[in-house]
Structure 1
Amino acid sequence: MEFGGEVLHSIFSEWGSTSGDERIPSWVWKLSKEHITKMLEGYEGDAHIRKDGSRVFTSINPNLIFSLVWLTRLKGINSRYIKRACKNMKGELQRREEYDLVMHGLVISSENYENNPMRTPHSKCIPLELVKT
């Protein structure tokens, strides 16, 4: 089956067009755990696998990562949020200015990939970053 450009554009525009405005469409929240797992497998191009087997998905968009943490935890997938700062020091060979970049990450535990039913207590917590007080 082939899809034209307009159909593909309408599907993928729901996800956002740049890394700063990426978001999870409302219909994704209704998907099953199996479908969410498959979605994450498709997103692994923007992730790396650690030596312990866990996957780390990174983005400069904190709202996307917070939403993914909510989504995975609500579906029973052990995940957590991490944040790290990246510095680019201006050197003789670089032609750009110094910058600081904050990267946000979703860590999916290796137990999700190994048929291990044990879960850490932390994985049952709901992230509070998106809850307004």
Structure 2
Amino acid sequence: MWAIFAILSAVFAALTSILAKVGIDGVNSNLATALRTIVVLIMAWGMVFITNAQTGLGDISRKSWIFLILSGLATGASWLFYYRALQIGDASKVVVIDKLSVVLTLVLAYLFLHEDFTTKSLVGAVLITVGTLVMVWK
């Protein structure tokens, strides 16, 4: 089931890039990010209430609060940089460079989460990196 959700995530991420590129035309990228964030916030809290998940708010540990807040800050920074890059660059190139996050995640997961970094992981990371260079090379 996780793979279906991951595929849907990829589809909606692709739509996000195209819709955002059209939507930020003539709009300050920081303002566009803030507007997008409001929509995401409303949607996320809507899902919380639809699924009655708000009852678990008090059960969140201090460690989880800290890391969820840090994750939110990282997301915010990512979105701000992404929207600015998207505003001044080609969507096809910005998205490809943005997906280097896959390679960085593999490395960080190995270093900090002690997840396996196999030969397959290495080959995939190298292919993604080479693919990125090929896509953005002039």
Range of TM-score over shorter length = under 0.3
Q: TM-score, normalised by structure 2?
A: 0.24
Bigger proportion of residues as strand: 1
Higher relative contact order (CA closer than 8 Å, sequence separation 6+):
2
